[in-house]
Chains A and B, each alone.
Chain A
């Protein structure tokens, strides 16, 4: 044995250690791979030995090889062996290797559980530390579950070194085993106030990381963090907290208001750039979350922009980059304040650093206006020319297109300029974004009718010069534009001046080298061109010319028929046959043009990309329902295939469309036109777009012919956008002059009367009228498209599982699994240890529970305060909302006002609207009472079932005896029945699921089904129970009457004001009204009462008038208009059902007359 040991250690002397390995690799530069494979063989030999030192050395070398990219997972078991070495230096090597190569798929990992647990509880803090560090890298759900409790215990370790690591690793445990979050959270929270700054910052880190993913669950920690923020001096911690606040503020605007001041203080005081930057970032987030427009906030915005300007002007490129990054965040909400720094941003475009240029580009997007668009794009075009490297150039290209096309071409005043920019962009070689340019060309040509003539002329030129574009290679992305060019020329061929020439260009043999899908478009559009030429010639009576063109087609088309691309081949052969037929007719001198043109009659309209998705499912259509009877399982196996086949055949034949004859087609077309005429989303073509084009002012002097080859151009036939810039400037100048003239005239006329006009002379953006009145066709959308923005969330998001409510008190069932030591384990570690650990971990939990409860109470208090604040804000909000609704930007206002409304509705429900406190309101009414027991109840509609309500009854034991065997029974009516468990008769009662000790109350719920809900109902019932005290037990009962008011069938449903208006307009609502005199309480209170007791929500409120809405469980809409007079209140109601409405109003009258 001893000899073996000695032999082993002698062997070791000849083993390579890590240094030798590294040196060896460096010396074998030529055949590194070979050398390493040789080393791996040696390592395999070493791992077979019993000596742990040899093994550790081998594993150590493996970790190095792993870094170089060699798979070492085969040594997983040896790594575990080294991990379990008693010597720390070996253990560390083992854990290092494990952290590098273990993962969830490693099967031996389950062997490590006990080893890790042993290390965690090791008396040596470094053993514990290395185990924690390693575990963080390879923790699996199983390990997390088994070890969560041990790690949690370590969070209270005496050594801060361990505490810190334990706190940090808890984050990994939460990720893998979300159930542990709630039990562990109280202790994690404690660690926020740990005396050791390291542990504290670790806790801050973990909570920040958690809160970043699910911020709403951590709102309750805001006060604690606020305290930390104002007290901490550790910049690392401050940065984290400030970042966290940035994530929280969108959820809680009040927090933002509170933050502004300390943050601005920090901005002023700190010398640390990193902290300054994060503060600015969070202030921006706060300002975004608060709605803009408050005067005191414009100061903070100014401060931010100022500080950012300093950053951007700094010589340090890092600061410059970050400054631009933050600036782009401000841009989204406060574009004005950024726009004043346009000079600076444009400067950054010239920066040598590409990242900075890209950031600056992002900013430019938001800075354009009608006035400066051309200037900015011109600058970008210069950059495009200068740019080296395709990625940056492509980025520029997409940015130019983005900038120009943003918000429906809002900033483009001259589309001719835009088209020429697009055409210029086609000169870019090797760009990947040809399809982008093509899409823009198509979009503009289709949607801006006035530009079609110009676009067609430009596209014809492109087609003519196709050889320049497609010259280089097939792969050249830019040839995509030919797709657009061909389509535009074909579709709008009536605008084409020299159609012959264009057709000629499209039929060139070179075209066959283009990608298939482009050729296909070529072929299709050739026919369109051909058709229009044919018509022209026929009308002019040039029969020979018409035949010539037909001949040309027949001669040239075969080259496409031979194409390898199926689509091209199919189209070409189809069309070739068609044209041959036409030729026959032409020879017989039959006029054909009209019929050929009819092939392409009708206009194509753009369809919104989401249109299909937004088609609402018609009422009564259940897409999940079976169309046929589902095949029954009883059918025998052999029969099945037969029947299915049969079925399918049937279906097939059913679906086949009947042959449609011409008449039918015409009729349908007519019907569709009719439909389109009635469709509000369909913008009809105006009588003659060409005419209008000519009529529009300022267009005449942009003669299209001018851009002929005579103009000196870089590429022959390619237009230059610059001339349009000049023309546009001229036009604007002219316009201005005209305007000034007019103004002068007006002034002359009005001088005596109005002096105010003089001040209005500065030219604002809006003064620039677009060159043509651009009629941008909106994309088609289906009728009643749903205005929903589904954001598809990734169901596999690992952080989703951590979306856990942390404020709920811990339930008994929520405990971390405590693993008892197994018997084998007991041999090694003293037996007493296990229970000790358990006790330790349980005790604090109880404390925490109490602590939590207290905190909840505190929270409640705070909440009330908050609500008060909220209510004072309420008025302001109203004001704002009105403003918003006036603003043109409808979408935004809708969203925001909706939010506001919801909030108002909420605050009304909560019963606090103004500073004066409301009397406490309870929806629970007295059901019955006797010396033993008191019952109160509340009825709530069930959203899922339209014929069910839930009655919650609170039983309160008033006596000093024990109440048990309680049973509740109700005499069902025809309309209303108690839902009893299956199998029991209608006369059986339902046992109350608890017993009541003296002085205790508890709540039970009973479900009732109903048929009609238009009338209030009363049900008689009895509660029987046994009273048990020292003297014995007696049987007793209590009768009651359960009152189902109509209001209890209503469900508080928020409603948009526009939907509300639509509802009122629909006209199928019955109306009724009441008036109640002698009202003394404020309107706020009154609304709160109606909301609370009658389950309404406020839709809109203006002064002493409010509209309210609610919905019954069976879908009746109930709308109210509440008006307050001097001492009276009048309520007008509208509802689908008049009985329900009058009953509801009666109930309301009763409630109100009590006030």
Chain B
């Protein structure tokens, strides 16, 4: 299950945050901060998995993230998810955003929080019940080939 999706920029400013379990605002902000510090320390060329310890109140959780230009996309998942699968999902998510906004950039996320189905985008890529609502978008992407890099990465600010 996916426990949370966090999108923040290189300075730790939250750009899109979705928690699938109720946490108070303070805890949410703290999680964002700590996650940011964890992720920030990491080189771009090291692995994308992180054990987040007791951050979410359970040792079962893992952080899986990708870093695109100015944005970090962090998914917090438990052990029932395939790590590589989630990596691909992030990819799919980003591509969906790209489709929605045509050459998506951080500013799009900032200014169109409500528009273009952004609020719906995560729930389309990731279904409401924290289970990946898989095939709708991924159907046309080969999940297997994790080496696909975002083609529009350069336009990504």
Beyond A69-B26, A271-B144, is A317–B46 a contact (Cβ under 8 Å)?
A: yes
Neighbouring B residues of A924 by C-beta, 8 Å: none
Neighbouring B residues of A22 by C-beta, 8 Å: 110-111, 113
B3 within 8 A of A: no
Neighbouring B residues of A1023 by C-beta, 8 Å: none
Is there contact, CB below 8 Å, between B144 and A209? no
Neighbouring B residues of A103 by C-beta, 8 Å: 22
Is there contact, CB below 8 Å, between B144 and A69? no
Beyond A67-B14, A236-B138, A272-B144, is A164–B83 a contact (Cβ under 8 Å)?
A: no
Neighbouring A residues of B43 by C-beta, 8 Å: 352-353
Is there contact, CB below 8 Å, between B128 and A133? yes
| Chain-B contact segment, one of A273-281, A909-917, A1070-1078 | A273-281
How far is the CB of A40 from the nearest CB of chain B, in Å?
13
How far is the CB of A839 from the nearest CB of chain B, in Å?
28
A83 within 8 A of B: no
Is there contact, CB below 8 Å, between B82 and A277? yes
Is there contact, CB below 8 Å, between A239 and B135? no
Neighbouring B residues of A321 by C-beta, 8 Å: 47, 49
Q: For the complex, what is the distance from the CA of A23 to the CA of B22, rounded to whole Å?
A: 29
How far is the CB of A355 from the nearest CB of chain B, in Å?
6
Q: For the complex, what is the distance from the CA of A134 to the CA of B142, rounded to whole Å?
A: 30
Is there contact, CB below 8 Å, between B143 and A317? no
B132 within 8 A of A: yes
| Chain-A contact segment, one of B69-77, B84-92, B97-105, B149-157 | B84-92
Pick from A172, A274, A317: contact of B146, CB under 8 Å: A274
Is there contact, CB below 8 Å, between A235 and B144? yes
Beyond A198-B135, A318-B49, is A19–B111 a contact (Cβ under 8 Å)?
A: yes
> Can you list, as one digit per residue, whether each of B131-146 has a CB less than 8 Å from chain A (1) or not (0)?
1111110110011111
Beyond A19-B111, A235-B143, is A212–B46 a contact (Cβ under 8 Å)?
A: no
Is there contact, CB below 8 Å, between B135 and A236? yes
Neighbouring B residues of A235 by C-beta, 8 Å: 142-144
Neighbouring A residues of B85 by C-beta, 8 Å: 236, 239, 274
Chain A residue, CB-CB nearest to B113: A64
Is there contact, CB below 8 Å, between B25 and A69? yes
A18 within 8 A of B: yes
Is there contact, CB below 8 Å, between B26 and A322? no
Chain B residue, CB-CB nearest to A132: B128
Beyond A18-B113, A64-B113, A133-B123, is A206–B144 a contact (Cβ under 8 Å)?
A: no
How far is the CB of B87 from the nearest CB of chain A, in Å?
7
Q: For the complex, what is the distance from the CA of A171 to the CA of B24, rounded to whole Å?
A: 23
How far is the CB of B76 from the nearest CB of chain A, in Å?
15
A695 within 8 A of B: no
Chain A residue, CB-CB nearest to B144: A272
B40 within 8 A of A: no
Chain B residue, CB-CB nearest to A236: B134
Neighbouring A residues of B120 by C-beta, 8 Å: 92
> Can you list, as one digit per residue, whether each of A325-359 has a CB less than 8 Å from chain B (1) or not (0)?
00000000000000000000000000011111000
How far is the CB of A174 from the nearest CB of chain B, in Å?
10
B50 within 8 A of A: yes
A899 within 8 A of B: no
Q: For the complex, what is the distance from the CA of A168 to the CA of B133, rounded to whole Å?
A: 8
Is there contact, CB below 8 Å, between B133 and A202? yes
How far is the CB of A63 from the nearest CB of chain B, in Å?
7
Pick from B82, B111, B129: contact of A274, CB under 8 Å: B82
Neighbouring B residues of A96 by C-beta, 8 Å: 114, 119
A68 within 8 A of B: yes
B29 within 8 A of A: yes
A1024 within 8 A of B: no
Pick from A63, A168, A169, A275: contact of B113, CB under 8 Å: A63
Neighbouring A residues of B131 by C-beta, 8 Å: 168, 171, 202, 205-206, 209
Q: For the complex, what is the distance from the CA of A137 to the CA of B130, rounded to whole Å?
A: 9
Is there contact, CB below 8 Å, between B134 and A60? no
Neighbouring B residues of A132 by C-beta, 8 Å: 128
Q: For the complex, what is the distance from the CA of A324 to the CA of B85, rounded to whole Å?
A: 18
Beyond A69-B25, A236-B132, A274-B146, is A322–B127 a contact (Cβ under 8 Å)?
A: no
Is there contact, CB below 8 Å, between B1 and A209? yes
How far is the CB of A116 from the nearest CB of chain B, in Å?
13
Beyond A69-B25, A69-B28, A322-B83, is A136–B132 a contact (Cβ under 8 Å)?
A: no
B9 within 8 A of A: no
How far is the CB of B95 from the nearest CB of chain A, in Å?
16
Q: For the complex, what is the distance from the CA of A805 to the CA of B59, rounded to whole Å?
A: 28
Q: For the complex, what is the distance from the CA of A833 to the CA of B130, rounded to whole Å?
A: 32
Beyond A136-B129, A318-B87, is A355–B135 a contact (Cβ under 8 Å)?
A: no
Beyond A205-B132, A355-B46, is A93–B114 a contact (Cβ under 8 Å)?
A: yes
B80 within 8 A of A: yes
Chain A residue, CB-CB nearest to B143: A235
Is there contact, CB below 8 Å, between A197 and B135? yes
Is there contact, CB below 8 Å, between B25 and A172? no
A403 within 8 A of B: no
Q: For the complex, what is the distance from the CA of A132 to the CA of B120, rounded to whole Å?
A: 12
Is there contact, CB below 8 Å, between B47 and A353? yes
Chain B residue, CB-CB nearest to A99: B128
Is there contact, CB below 8 Å, between B46 and A239? no
How far is the CB of B35 from the nearest CB of chain A, in Å?
14
Is there contact, CB below 8 Å, between A271 and B145? yes
Q: For the complex, what is the distance from the CA of A137 to the CA of B25, rounded to whole Å?
A: 15
Neighbouring B residues of A137 by C-beta, 8 Å: 20, 128
- Which B33-89 residues have a C-beta within 8 angstroms of A? 43, 45-51, 80, 82-85, 87-88
Is there contact, CB below 8 Å, between A273 and B133? no
Is there contact, CB below 8 Å, between A234 and B82? no
Q: For the complex, what is the distance from the CA of A321 to the CA of B49, rounded to whole Å?
A: 8
Is there contact, CB below 8 Å, between B133 and A243? no
Q: For the complex, what is the distance from the CA of A202 to the CA of B145, rounded to whole Å?
A: 22
Neighbouring A residues of B26 by C-beta, 8 Å: 69
Neighbouring B residues of A277 by C-beta, 8 Å: 82-84
Neighbouring A residues of B110 by C-beta, 8 Å: 22, 26
Beyond A92-B119, A132-B128, is A318–B47 a contact (Cβ under 8 Å)?
A: yes
Chain A residue, CB-CB nearest to B29: A69
Neighbouring A residues of B25 by C-beta, 8 Å: 66, 69-71
> Can you list, as one digit per residue, whether each of B110-122 has a CB less than 8 Å from chain A (1) or not (0)?
1101100001100
> Can you list, as one digit per residue, whether each of A15-53 has a CB less than 8 Å from chain B (1) or not (0)?
000110011001000000000000000000000000000
Neighbouring B residues of A93 by C-beta, 8 Å: 114
A104 within 8 A of B: yes
Neighbouring B residues of A138 by C-beta, 8 Å: 22
Neighbouring A residues of B119 by C-beta, 8 Å: 92, 96
Neighbouring B residues of A197 by C-beta, 8 Å: 135, 139
Is there contact, CB below 8 Å, between B48 and A318? yes
A528 within 8 A of B: no
Beyond A69-B25, A70-B25, A318-B48, is A272–B142 a contact (Cβ under 8 Å)?
A: yes
How far is the CB of A410 from the nearest CB of chain B, in Å?
28
How far is the CB of B63 from the nearest CB of chain A, in Å?
11
Beyond A66-B25, A237-B134, is A274–B84 a contact (Cβ under 8 Å)?
A: yes
How far is the CB of A715 from the nearest CB of chain B, in Å?
32
Neighbouring B residues of A70 by C-beta, 8 Å: 25
User: Which residues on B are within 8 Å of A, measured CB to CB?
Assistant: 1, 14, 16-17, 19-20, 22, 24-26, 28-29, 43, 45-51, 80, 82-85, 87-88, 110-111, 113-114, 119-120, 123, 127-136, 138-139, 142-146
- Provide a sorted-by-A list of 22 A–B residue pairs whose CB atoms are within 8 angstroms: A23-B111, A71-B24, A133-B127, A135-B128, A168-B128, A169-B129, A198-B133, A198-B135, A236-B135, A243-B82, A270-B144, A272-B146, A274-B82, A274-B88, A277-B83, A317-B48, A318-B84, A318-B146, A320-B47, A321-B49, A353-B43, A355-B51
Give the top 10 A-B pairs by smallest Cβ distance, nearest first: A272-B144, A274-B84, A103-B22, A136-B128, A353-B46, A317-B47, A168-B129, A236-B134, A69-B29, A205-B131
Question: Given A278-B82, A353-B43, list of 18 further CB < 8 A pairs?
Answer: A67-B113, A92-B119, A132-B128, A136-B127, A164-B133, A165-B127, A168-B127, A169-B128, A172-B129, A198-B136, A201-B134, A271-B144, A272-B146, A273-B84, A277-B84, A352-B43, A353-B46, A355-B49
